[in-house]
Amino acid sequence: MSNNKLLNVIFISMLASFVFGASFEPACARNKLVIQADLGRETIDKNIYGHFSEHLGRCVYEGYWVGEDSPIPNTRGIRNDVVEALKKIKVPVLRWPGGCFADEYHWKDGIGPRENRPSMINTHWGGVTENNHFGTHEFLDLCEQIGCEPFITGNVGSGTVQELSEWVEYVNFDGVSPMADLRRKNGREEPWRVKYWGVGNENWGCGGQMRPEYYVDVYRRFQTYVRDYPDADTFKVACGPYGEDIKWMEVMMKNVEKGMMRGLDLHYYCGSGEDSRSATKFEEVDWFHQLRRAMRLDEIITTQSNIMDRYDPKKRIALIVGEWGAWHDVESGTNEGFLYQQNSLRDAMVAGVSLNIMNNHCERVRMGNIAQTVNVLQAMILTDGAKMILTPSYHVFDSYKVHHDATLLPADLECEDYRFDEDRIPGLNVSASQDESGKIHISICNMNPNDDAELICEIRGAKVGRIIGKVLTAPEITSHNTFDNPEVVKPSDFDEYRKTQNGFKTTLPAKSIVVFEIESGE
């Protein structure tokens, strides 16, 4: 290069620095993130990280419950390894017994001496006969062992008002009454004081095929008898819509008076059946369309929240995403009614994106329950006899637990698109929060399976000190953990970043989920 050309380059660079300031970055930085650390207002409710367990396939039986005589290490019949794994990710709330199963479940069949409990046919899921050995006492024991809040869904589809009312009394009343006395007879002196009660499940479908105009009156009647007993604050949850069904939401919000419900239960699955194909045998087209459907959760929550805002501008009623996640074809050779599927890096990305979306809507979304915890759909854990493995989705919940009850920080993201054929979606997805100690956490999903993403992050309103990174990725988009090789997909330390004067620069690997922890600087 000649001296004149070199001087021109230097002059242009100096001029750019003068015009754009000391923070000028080269034009190639197409991904930019600004975190407003001093503008956080809303709290990310830890219950967004809740889970859902239905009497379905091997979720309850073999997943949690092995019985007290099992050679698998257990505490009162509940397997210890599963409990310890769920304690590690700090499961905040667990929804049970369904799902479709809830509206055919009669709780009195699941109490008392197990040898005297009547069997039932699980007509929704595989037509298997259940012995009712896992009932109210066992579920609430499970929640106590995990250290989480129970969320009980009552039977509206085939049950009665009296049945649900007596269940609440059995669980929550500390005085003298027929149900409280029956609880004591069955070995539990103190009430559990369960807070969260769902009044039916998917009553627009498997819960009774109801029209919203009919269900709203059914709900009003049933919720009347879900009593608030002393020292037992009852949080009543109504059946909400599936996905973008705005009519259901409109009818519920318009016709249920203040105080009758504290939450509405929205369900959304981002793929099922032929649309998703196998959980592990798929191509980039399946990866792309699965993630595009996952990102629709943002639009769905926005649409439904706008309706809620018209009737509840102070946001007293919580939007609960009571069932969400990926839904693939079952594994070859398994019972189709058991919904057993593997869990790949694609599912981890679905989890990361979905949790970021719910974090960013935390002013209205105050609970989520991924479907389902063990051996069913997008599970955290898979078991095979005494063996247990953790799935890629589990590792997302583990790394994202830093957001529990933290303050949401506004995050302004400009990013390149991830393109596939003629379609496109944003290449990056993010949420950020600040915990009580002042640490900032940023979770970023690079959904592009082919290209790394250079990112410049500016943090305003806080000085940047030490930075720690963790990454979850794998060699292939189909990578998954098996009982023979359980650590193909697991998190590792991430140091591909450089601290700047007011943030950091990083290169996010393709198909990765990265969580940064940023301490305050001097």
Which of 55, 172, 167 lies closest to 111 in space, CA to CA?
Answer: 167
Task: Output the CA–CA distances (angstroms, integers) from residue 234 to 199, 228, 343, in the order listed.
Answer: 12, 6, 35
Q: Which residues contact 486 (CB under 8 A, 6 or more apart)?
A: 389, 390
The residue whose two tokens read 């063996």 is 387
Where helices occur in 240-372 by DSSP H, the ranges are 246-255, 284-311, 345-360
Q: Which amino acid is at 91?
A: V
- The pair of structure tokens assigned to 522 is 């001097």
3-state secondary structure 65-92: ECCCCCCCCEECCEEHHHHHHHHHCCCC
Question: Which entry of 104, 130, 149, 202 is annotated as an active-site residue?
Answer: 202
Eight-class DSSP state of 512:
E
202 labelled catalytic: yes
Which of 422, 381, 504, 522 lies closest to 514 in space, CA to CA?
Answer: 504
Question: Cα–Cα distance between 93 and 153 in angstroms, integer?
Answer: 13
Task: Output the CA–CA distances (angstroms, integers) from residue 303 to 24, 52, 296, 321, in the order listed.
Answer: 38, 24, 11, 14
Eight-class DSSP state of 457:
E
Residues paired with 470 in a beta bridge: 493, 515
130 labelled catalytic: no
Ramachandran class of 445: left when φ > 0, alpha when ψ lies in -120 to 50, beta otherwise: beta
Task: Output the CA–CA distances (angstroms, integers) from residue 435 to 317, 401, 439, 461, 517, in the order listed.
Answer: 25, 11, 6, 15, 10
- The pair of structure tokens assigned to 169 is 């009394």
The residue whose two tokens read 């919000």 is 253
Question: Which entry of 130, 163, 323, 458 is annotated as an active-site residue?
Answer: 323
Spatial contact of 82 and 391, defined as CB atoms under 8 Å apart:
no
Cβ neighbours, 10 Å, residue 53: 25
* CA 351 to centroid of chain Cα atoms: 7
Spatial contact of 67 and 489, defined as CB atoms under 8 Å apart:
no
3-state secondary structure of 440: strand
Q: Which amino acid is at 44?
A: I
The set of catalytic residues is 202, 323
